[in-house]
Amino acid sequence: MESCLTSAVHRFLEQSVFSSAVFLAERLVAENSSESNVGLLAQAYYRSGDGHRAISLLQNGVHSPSNKYLLALCCYEAGRLAEAESALIQTKYDGKNHGNEVEDVPNGAAGLYLMGCICRRAGRIEHAIQYFTASLKEDPFLWSAYEGLCELGCEVPPEEFFGHSAREAINMQTLAKAKMQESNSKSKVELPRKTTPAKGKKAMSRTYTEKDRPTKLRQTTIHQELEETKTPSKPQYSSTCSSEQLVLKLLHDYGSAFQALSLFRCETALQLFKNLPQKQRNSGWVLHQIGRTYFEMANYTKAARIYQTIRENEPHRMSGMAVYSTILYHLKQEVNLSYLAQQVTDFDKRSSEAWFVAGNCFSLQKEHDTALTFFQRAIQLDPCFTYAYTLCGHEYAANEDFEKAIGCYRHAIRMDPRHYNAWYGMGTIYFRQEKFELAEYHFRKAIAINPQSSILYCNLGMVLHAVERNNEAIAALEHAQRLQPLNPTARFHKAKVLVAQGRYEEAHQELEFVQNAAPKESSVHFLLGKVAKKLGRIDDAMRYFNNALFFHPKDNHLIKAAIERLHEEDRDENEESLVA
C-alpha cells in the first residue's frame, strides 16, 4: 500500500495534478509518518503553492538533506531568512566566518546557491559571493549562481568556473558515472535464478523481456550483451564529455559577456554578445542583454529597435519589458508606451514587469500619483523589484515629497547596493535641496558603480560648479563628453562654468554646438545671448534673446528684462532660473 501511494504521488507531481498529489500524500503520512513520507507531503504542498503549510510540516524536525533544503527554500520564498539559514546550517550567522559552513550545506550546489541568495538578500555580500563561488565549483552548469556573482560586482574571470578546471571536474564525474554503469551492466549479464515481475515504471526491464522470449533468442541476446560489456562506455563517455565541454565553452562565452555588462563595460559586452553563435545571438535572452547594453550607453534608439525585435519574436517574454518601457519613456514615445502597457497587462496581470510598464506610461503623461499606484502594485507582486522602488522615488520627487522619495531610494539601495540609479536619485534630491556635500557623495557612489555613465559625471560637474570648484567641474564635464561625445547636456553645463570663469569665447563655442543639437531649447539661446553681450556682439545677443522668447514665452519677463538692459553695463543680476 505504501509503495503504491508513493508511486502515485510522484506520478501526479510529475504530471502537475497537485490536488491529487496532496490528497494521496496525506493518506501516505496517515499510514506511516516517516520522514521521507513527510518530505513527500511537504513537496506536494510546496508544488501546489502552499509553502506555509510545508514550513509548518517540516519545522517539527527534519534530518535528511532534501527535507532541510525544501524547508529552507520555503522559508526563503516566504521572506523568513533567519529560519531559512538555520535550516541549511546548524550555526546561525554571528558575524564571524565559520570555515566549515560551506561544507555543511545540504543538497550540494543547489543548497549552496540558496545560501548565497539568503546572504545576498540579508546584505552579507562577502558571504553571498563565497556561497555562489562554491556552488559553481561544485556544478558549473548552475548559471543562476554565476549571474548572482556578476550582479554583486564580482570580477572573478569566467575561466575559473567554465574553464579547464571545470572540464576536469565534469570529466571525473562522467568517468565515475561510466564506471558505475559498466559495473551495473556486468552484474545484469548474470542469468537470474528466478524472475519476478517488475513493478511500477520498471515494467519494461530486461527481466520481463528475457522471460517471455524464446530460449534461443534469449541466449543470443545474452551473448551480445557479454560482447558489449567488454567496451561498453568508451564511445558514450567520449561523446558525453565532448558535449559537456561544448556547453561549458558556450557558458564561458555567455559569462564573459554578462560579466562585462554587469560591470558596465558596455563596448566590450556588446562585442562579446555579437560574437556568440548566430542561433544563440538571435535568442530572446541575448537580445535582451544587447538591448540593456545600448540602454546603459544611453543609445535609446538602437535599444528600442532591439526590444521591438524581441516583442516580434517572443511576444510572451516579459523579462526586459521594464527596461523597454524606460527606453520609450526617455524617447517620449507616448503612443508606443501606451500600446506596450496595454499589451503586457492584458497578457499577464500577475507580472510585476507589466505593472512597471503601466507606471512608466502614466509617468510620461505627468500623472505621478497614478504612476505611483502601478509601481507599488509591481512591488506587491515582486517585493525584490529594486528598480520599482527607485521609480517610486522618482515619482515622489516629481511631487516634491522628498522624504518619501529618499525612503524609496534607501530601500532600493538596501536591496541592491550596486543599483546606481538609486544613488543617483538621492544625489538629485540633495542637489535640489542645496545639500551639495551629500549630493557629491551620492553621485560619486553612483560613479564608483558605473564609471561609464555620462549622465552621472554631468551631474557631478553641476554639483562641483555649485560649490565653486570650477576646475574640478570642468574636468568632470569633459569626462562626460568623452564618454558620450554627442551629449549636449554636458557641453551646456560646461559652458555655464566657462561663463562663471569669464572664458566667454570658449563658452560661445560650446553653446553653438549645443544649439545645433537642441535648436529649440530656450535656455541655450538665452545663455548665448548673455555670452554674446559679454563679447560685445549686441546684434547677435538681440537675435538670441528673441529666439529664447519665441521658444519659451512663459519666461518672457526674464528675457524682456535682459533685452531692455542690452545696452547697459552688466550688474549682478539673478537670471539663473531660465538656464538652471
Instruction: Looking at the structure, tell me whether residues 376 and 457 fall in a common domain.
Output: no
Q: Residues 397-424: what's their mean pLDDT? A: 96
Instruction: Looking at the structure, tell me whether residues 63 and 143 fall in a common domain.
Output: yes
The set of residues, in sequence order, having a beta carbon less than 8 Å from that of 288 and lying 6+ positions away, is: 307, 310, 317, 319, 320, 323
Is the Cβ–Cβ distance between 116 and 81 less than 8 Å? no
pLDDT at residue 455 is higher than 70: yes
Q: Rounded to whole angstroms, how far apart are CA atoms 113 and 130?
A: 10
Instruction: Give the chain's radius of gyration (CA, Å).
Output: 32
Q: Quick one: pLDDT at residue 559? A: 81
What's the domain range around 151?
2-91+101-165
Report which DSSP code applies to 555: G
Q: Quick one: pLDDT at residue 389? A: 97
Residue 201 within any structural domain of the chain: no
CA torsion 192-198-202-203 (nearest 10°) is 110
Instruction: Looking at the structure, tell me whether residues 8 and 136 fall in a common domain.
Output: yes
Q: Rounded to whole angstroms, how far apart are CA atoms 477 and 495?
A: 10
The set of residues, in sequence order, having a beta carbon less than 8 Å from that of 73 and lying 6+ positions away, is: 46, 84, 114
Q: Quick one: pLDDT at residue 348? A: 94
Q: pLDDT tens digits, residue range 308-323?
A: 999 999 999 999 999 9
The three three-digit cell numbers of residue 372, written as one number: 505611483
What is the CB-side half-sphere exposure of residue 505 using CA atoms within 13 A? 0
Q: Rounded to whole angstroms, how far apart are CA atoms 159 and 178?
A: 26
The three three-digit cell numbers of residue 486, written as one number: 554627442
Q: How confident is the model at residue 49 (pLDDT cuts 50, 70, 90)?
A: very high
**What secondary structure, in 3-state letters, does 213-251 show?**
CCHHHHHHHHHHHHHHCCCCCHHHHHHHHHHHHHHHHHH
Instruction: Looking at the structure, tell me whether residues 159 and 58 fall in a common domain.
Output: yes
Residue 196 within any structural domain of the chain: no
Residue 313 within any structural domain of the chain: yes
Q: How confident is the model at residue 183 (pLDDT cuts 50, 70, 90)?
A: low
CATH number for position 36: 1.25.40.10
Residue 225 within any structural domain of the chain: no
Instruction: Looking at the structure, tell me whether residues 25 and 149 fall in a common domain.
Output: yes
Question: Which residue, 355, 383, 411, sits at the end of a domain?
Answer: 383
Of 423, 405, 404, 403, give the one whose Cα is nearest residue 413: 423
Residue 238 within any structural domain of the chain: no
Question: Which residue, 383, 402, 418, sits at the end of a domain?
Answer: 383
Residue 326 amino acid letter = T
Q: Rounded to whole angstroms, how far apart are CA atoms 466 and 492?
A: 15
Instruction: Looking at the structure, tell me whether residues 148 and 17 fall in a common domain.
Output: yes
The three three-digit cell numbers of residue 256, written as one number: 564573459
Q: pLDDT tens digits, residue range 537-567?
A: 888 889 988 888 888 777 677 888 888 888 7
What is the percent of the chain where pLDDT is above 90? 68
The helix/strand/coil state of 197 is coil
Report which DSSP code applies to 79: T
Own/partner pairs, 394-403, CB within 8 angstroms, 24+ separation: 394/363, 394/425, 395/359, 395/363, 395/368, 395/369, 395/371, 396/372, 397/425, 397/428, 397/429, 398/363, 398/368, 399/368, 399/369, 402/429, 402/432, 402/433
Residue 122 within any structural domain of the chain: yes
Say how far residue 79 (Cα) sits from the centre of its chain: 19
Q: Would you say the C-alpha torsion 27, 28, 31, 34 has a positive or negative sign?
A: negative
**Would you list the DSSP string of 491-509?**
HHHHHHHHHHTT-HHHHHH
Q: 170-204 b/e with 16+ CB inside 10 Å = b?
A: beeebeeebeeebeeeeeeeeeeeeeeeeeeeeee
Is the Cβ–Cβ distance between 324 and 337 less than 8 Å? no
Which of 90-104, 216-230, 249-263 is predicted with the least confidence, judged by mean pLDDT? 216-230
Residue 212 within any structural domain of the chain: no
- Tell me how many helices (H) and strands (E) the chain has: 35, 0
Ranked by mean pLDDT, the top range of 267-271, 563-567, 573-577 is 267-271
For the entire predicted model, the pTM comes to 0.81
Q: How confident is the model at residue 222 (pLDDT cuts 50, 70, 90)?
A: very low
Neighbours of 334 (CB within 10 A): 13
Residue 365 within any structural domain of the chain: yes
Q: Give the count of domains, the chain.
A: 3
Of 119, 122, 121, 123, give the one whose Cα is nearest residue 134: 119
Cα separations in angstroms, 506 against 511, 514, 516, 535: 9, 13, 16, 11
Specify the DSSP element, H or E, that contains 288.
helix 284-296
Q: pLDDT tens digits, residue range 485-509?
A: 888 999 999 999 999 999 999 999 9
The three three-digit cell numbers of residue 465, written as one number: 560648479
What is the percent of the chain where pLDDT is above 70? 82
Question: Which residue, 165, 183, 199, sits at the end of a domain?
Answer: 165
Q: Quick one: pLDDT at residue 558? A: 81
Is the Cβ–Cβ distance between 438 and 446 less than 8 Å? no
The set of residues, in sequence order, having a beta carbon less than 8 Å from that of 100 and lying 6+ positions away, is: none
